[in-house]
Structure 1
């Protein structure tokens, strides 16, 4: 199992492009996870940029790449003192698979100066359900769950037994299996790991 840093590592090619080896472990079924692909794009931009951290990322997924060799090309759109904007394109076998617009800036460890969002109420981590990579009766495996531990609030899990909560809410504890801390790149994965919220409403389409 590769660490997150290893699975998203990029190597400069010398022409504003970066080589990457896409890791099939970071997948849902046989499709690479969208947050993982965004992190790969962000890693390439971070390698090219004067500013260290992605602070805004918008990505269009055009076709699913396979695990293996790929290339990320990076274009500077605007350079500023506090932040800069980039376009990043993930290509495989000469075909564009994903395009991202990324604003790159610098983050520090200061507490937020304002927030109206209350902390979520969750049961203790040990009382939540660890989702397996291959759940009984599942139509396909989720290899991603072997590298991102996902402990779901039991109150969110009713859809699995045909009793959706209808709350439109889910909650979970997330942890990288390699033991590393979350950072601005790995958070792109964390934000898109949960089962589709529509399942809590009883909608499967």
Structure 2
């Protein structure tokens, strides 16, 4: 996500870490004119629900989220108009994490895009992409990735598969760690089951 609402529950130092990383990313994207997009497959944000509530003086609907609201109206490949994110805080509406985004405070937008049979996905995109007339091109790229990935962007699926630590990698790491701890005379405690597995695999 480009809007790090998830970090609002963290202590200030951790919040600042996420904000600074995202600010670097957003600034680099705008300066280099390289589009970026955050793909959120399952989202419970309620930016549009909150907008409608304020515009039409509607009652609170805490169980309703944007993707749920939009789902009946979007066929596969359909997207919503582009919106600029002006979200308040999840804990305090006046104190959202976007307040820490400095000049990028109003430079992150979003659309919802139907990519499979579930609720629409949320795409968070820098505002400069929309201003440069590249929004449709970028959303088309996401549609292509989703087609290749059979409902989920292929590039993300591939990155996830590569990032997952396989059992062999995990066992090698634990064995190296155990050897290092023994060499440094550190009291590293592994379960007997793990030690047994590592010793058996070392023999092979």
* TM-score normalised by structure 1 residue count: 0.25
Comparing both structures, which one devotes a greater share of its residues to helix? 2
Report the TM-score when normalising by structure 2: 0.25
